[in-house]
């Protein structure tokens, strides 16, 4: 299915209003879900609308809640999301972090008691397009075994790095889970009847598999870098707790309010102009990109990209053909 930006946004907005979200908030949420889909992240754009509605109906997300400030310490703010919509809480958080960076050169916002921020790259992208460097992450409930274990005890804690390339809106953007794949990616490929490009977890027999359905069933995700990814997941979780006065994976499991219900998030935003001249920044960016592009290709079909380059290809396709939405997802949105 191919639809226009406005068609998708309007459909999502109408759904959210029907399920108790104010028109003003529904407009912002629909805009972010649609932009995410336009950027090619289908799993956390159009693909997350039905789940968000489910959380609204179960009372796991309070559509009327607003974030409140709990602590202020110079370049640091700690916010309580009060279980409001995670996207709106995160948007507020990144705006606060940028204000702090303007004043201090760096801003750290810890956001506790919030809900799923959908695509973490959204907030890194916002900061980088305005000229900031951003490092952000969230913890989640247990969905991945620690290295050497079989049952989930670690969150698949996404981490985001974003930076400007210089003048204009072109940016670097790395938004990644600490498992080989996110559960959203597994769901998207399973829905499309496709296999993973590389093995991403274990099946019931304990064998590595590229079958997304098998991995969803066992919940034995493969961490990036094996034991290294396991260690990274743990540190992101505990640091999120320390920097927000929030809760970690074990308590999120007990809370049991869906994916990321009550999670802790950290947003660090830095003004690079305090450290590096704008002209030199552009020169260094160009040198770094040229350096990786000089690598010999594995084969004639392979390509080498800097983080964030994929968005441009999706934008061109979606501008030309319309935004792709899986037929079943589109039917689901309209049925809601």
The whole-angstrom distance between residue 331's C-alpha and the CA centroid of its chain comes to 24
37/333 Cα distance (integer angstroms): 14
Q: Which of 177, 225, 219, 188 is nearest to 201 (CA)?
A: 219
CA distances from 279 to 18, 56, 70, 208, 284 (A): 49, 47, 39, 48, 9
**What count of Cα atoms within 13 Å lies in the side-chain half-sphere of residue 241?**
14
Other CB atoms within a 10 A radius of the CB of residue 292 amount to: 10
Compute the chain's Rg from CA coordinates: 20
Alpha-carbon span 167 to 142, nearest angstrom: 41
The closest alpha carbon to 198, from 216, 171, 183, 180, belongs to 180
Query: What are the residues whose beta carbons fall under 8 Å from the beta carbon of 187, sequence distance 6 or more?
Result: 43, 47, 212, 216
Q: How far apart are alpha carbons 326 and 48 in whole angstroms?
A: 12
Tokens representing 198?
């590389």
Crossing angle of the two packed helices 327-335 and 49-58, in degrees rounded to 10: 30
At which residue do the structure tokens 């921020």 appear? 117
Copy the structure tokens of residue 189: 């490929």
Instruction: Assess whether 44 carries a catalytic annotation.
Output: yes
Residue owning tokens 């985001």: 160
Question: Which of 33, 44, 116, 318 is flagged as catalytic?
Answer: 44
Rounded to whole angstroms, the Cα distance separating 155 from 146 reads: 9
Catalytic positions: 44
């Amino acid at each position: 299915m191919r639809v226009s930006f406005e068609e998708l946004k309007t459909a999502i907005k109408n759904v959210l209003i029907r399920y108790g979200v104010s028109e003003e908030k529904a407009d912002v949420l629909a805009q972010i879900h649609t932009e995410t889909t336009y950027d090619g992240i289908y799993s956390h754009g159009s693909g997350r609308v039905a789940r968000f509605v489910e959380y609204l109906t179960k009372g796991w997300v309070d559509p009327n809640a607003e974030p409140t400030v709990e602590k202020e310490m110079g370049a640091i703010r700690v916010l309580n999301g009060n279980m409001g919509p995670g996207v709106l809480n995160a948007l507020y958080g990144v705006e606060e972090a940028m204000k702090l960076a303007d004043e201090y050169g760096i801003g750290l916002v810890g956001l506790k008691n919030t809900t799923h921020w959908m695509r973490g790259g959204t907030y890194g992208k916002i900061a980088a397009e305005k000229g900031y460097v951003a490092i952000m992450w969230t913890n989640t409930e247990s969905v991945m075994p620690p290295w050497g274990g079989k049952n989930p005890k670690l969150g698949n804690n996404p981490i985001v790095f974003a930076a400007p390339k210089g003048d204009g809106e072109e940016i670097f953007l790395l938004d990644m889970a600490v498992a080989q794949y996110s559960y959203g990616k597994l769901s998207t490929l399973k829905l499309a009847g496709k296999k993973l490009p590389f093995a991403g977890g274990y099946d019931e027999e304990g064998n590595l598999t590229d079958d997304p359905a098998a991995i969803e069933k066992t919940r034995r995700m493969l961490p990036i870098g094996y034991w290294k990814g396991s260690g990274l997941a743990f540190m992101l979780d505990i640091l999120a707790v320390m920097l927000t006065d929030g809760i970690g994976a074990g308590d999120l499991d007990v809370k049991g309010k869906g994916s990321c219900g009550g999670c802790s998030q950290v947003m660090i935003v830095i003004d690079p102009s305090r450290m590096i001249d704008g002209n030199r920044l552009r020169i260094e960016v160009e040198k770094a990109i040229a350096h990786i592009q000089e690598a010999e290709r594995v084969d004639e079909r392979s390509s080498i990209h800097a983080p964030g380059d994929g968005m441009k290809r999706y934008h061109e396709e979606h501008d030309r053909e319309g935004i792709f939405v899986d037929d079943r997802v589109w039917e689901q949105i309209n049925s809601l």
